[in-house]
Each structure stands twice: as structure tokens, then as C-alpha cells.
Amino acid sequence: MKKIIAAIDALNFSDDQLEGFKYFAKEANSKLTVVCLDNLNTGVVPMARMFPETYPVRYEQISPEGRVALQWQRNKNIKQLQEICDIDNISIEVREAVSSPVEEVVADSRFVDLLMISNSTSFTALSDGNPPRFVKDVLEEAECPVMVLPDVISPIKEVVFSYNGTFSSMFAIRQFTQLFPNFSDIPVKVVYVAEESQQEIPFEQKLRDYLDMHYETVKFVIVNGEPATEFLAMLIRRNDCIITYGAYGRSSVSRFFHPSDAESVLRTTNIPVFITHP
């Protein structure tokens, strides 16, 4: 049994997001814990959803009536979440982010096998960015593998492993494989973006031997060009696959792709993205 958590915003979440979290927890043969955070007292409040005519402000700037409305929305959402979790036997933790949502989630990540978040979670205004600052900060600081999900997911029909021969890319493949044994019968595509000095897949036979132990169907693909451009072209019209990336936001020596490469996939596709830090 693995320990998997999903972090959500108490003021903004959807049933579809929860379905995505449940789907991957089931595929990992694991129970799911939903960590429901609110940021009312520590940051900028996402006013746009409740009050479209206003701009985001800090909590202390909101009128007493506005605070009551926010608390009402928070309590309503948490009650709805608790009802869903009770039906599906999902554990739930509701707590205020005493420092910031990023710090809370990163602290949790040290003690779990997988952290899941939605690619739209921001804890701030809707104009926060794409992907939001919260998502980028969590990806950079998390101390466990992170799965970033679109708001609505489709059943996974293919696993895409990005690979360049480095430890970080292989680490991501191995972590994903160990976390999701139920994907053994899903076709796997290993994609290598050839560099000028290395046109052959590094350690190809060793990688084949490893993957053949875990998956029924494995295909290797070599493409030429910039990694970000090639992967985006391959994935932009897909909604039925998942991709793994090596380290995000670490030193240039250890990471596979620059953060902007992974962000382009998060920003323009509707597929889950699995990212690890060695």
C-alpha cells in the first residue's frame, strides 16, 4: 500500500478533479488522502469566481460581509467534499494553510509516495498564470513524485516515457513503474530526442530489459529537434496518455528538461504529467 495525497483549494475544486485523483489512486492500488487547504488568512483571495466585478485582494481588505460570504463558500465546499469522500472511502484532511499552501504541500510531500494536484490550482486570482504559480512552485520544491492532472481526464491508453539517457529521466520511469503496477498492460512509448552528438538511444538494451520486465508492449521512438517542440507536437492533440519527465527546476546538471519545456505541455495539453526529482 502506498501513501498518496491530493491537494485541493477549499474555495475552488470540482467533482471532475476528484474523479481524476480517484482514478490514479485506484491504478496505484492505494487509498487516497485529500488535503483540503484554505488560504483565507495568508494570501490573495480568488475573488473572481464569487465576485466577477471585483479584483483579487488580500483577506484583511475584505469587508465583514465579504468575509462571511467567503467562509460560507468554504464551508459549503468542504461539506460537499466530505460527503463525496465518505461515499468513496477517501480520507480527508481539512486545514488552514498557516504559512502558505505551497509550504504546506511541500512539507507533506516529504512523507508520501505521490502528490497529485490539478493544473489549474492557484489559491490566487484566476489570472495567476498558466500553469499557475502554485503548480510551478510545487513542481520545483516537492520532495516526492508529482502528478499534475487536467481538470478532466480520460482513461489512459498509452504511457509516454521521455528519455535522454540521464539518471533523472530513468528515475522518473522507474518511479512511475513502481507506483503504477496496474499499467503493465498499457502500451508504452519511449521517446528519445536525438542530439547532434548522440543519435542512438543511450543504454537502449538495458532500458529494454528493464521495461520488458514490467510492460507487455514497449515501443522506442527517436525524433530530432528541440525536446519541448517535439513533445508538444506529439501530445497537443492527445487526451488519452500520460507523460513522465525527469527533474524539474533543479540544477542544470541534474534535470532533464528546463522548467519551460514541461510548462509548455502543462499549458497547452490535456494530459496528466508525472514529474520527479532524483
Cis ω before 131 (30° cut-off from 0)? yes
Please indicate whether residue 81 or residue 211 has the higher confidence score (pLDDT).
Answer: 211
Do 228 and 257 touch, CB atoms closer than 8 A?
yes
- Identify the residue whose cell numbers are 487526451: 239
How far apart are the C-alpha atoms of 213 and 206, rounded to whole Å? 11
Q: Binning pLDDT at 50, 70 and 90, where does residue 129 land? A: low
Do 152 and 20 touch, CB atoms closer than 8 A?
yes
DSSP-assigned letter for residue 58: B
- The pLDDT of residue 50 is above 60: no
The reported pLDDT for the residue numbered 140 is 86
- In DSSP terms, 224 is beta-bridged to 194
Q: Binning pLDDT at 50, 70 and 90, where does residue 182 land? A: very high
Residue 171 C-beta-side C-alpha neighbours within 13 Å? 15
Q: Binning pLDDT at 50, 70 and 90, where does residue 244 land? A: very high
Q: Which of 27-31, 91-95, 136-140, 180-184 has the weakest average pLDDT?
A: 91-95
Helices 101-109, 133-141: inter-axial angle, 10-degree rounding: 30
Neighbours of 87 (CB within 10 A): 8
Q: Binning pLDDT at 50, 70 and 90, where does residue 263 land? A: confident
Predicted TM-score (pTM) of this structure:
0.84
- The pLDDT of residue 35 is above 80: yes
pLDDT in tens, 148-170: 999 898 999 999 999 988 888 99
The reported pLDDT for the residue numbered 107 is 92
Mean pLDDT in residue range 191-203: 83
Q: Binning pLDDT at 50, 70 and 90, where does residue 254 land? A: very low
pLDDT in tens, 95-118: 766 678 888 899 999 999 999 999
Residue 166 one-letter amino acid: T
Q: Binning pLDDT at 50, 70 and 90, where does residue 190 land? A: very high
Sketch out the chain's domains with CATH numbers: 4-149 (3.40.50.620), 158-275 (3.40.50.620)
The reported pLDDT for the residue numbered 265 is 79
How far apart are the C-alpha atoms of 101 and 208, rounded to whole Å? 40
Q: Grid coordinates standing for 143?
A: 520532495
- Identify the residue whose cell numbers are 461515499: 87
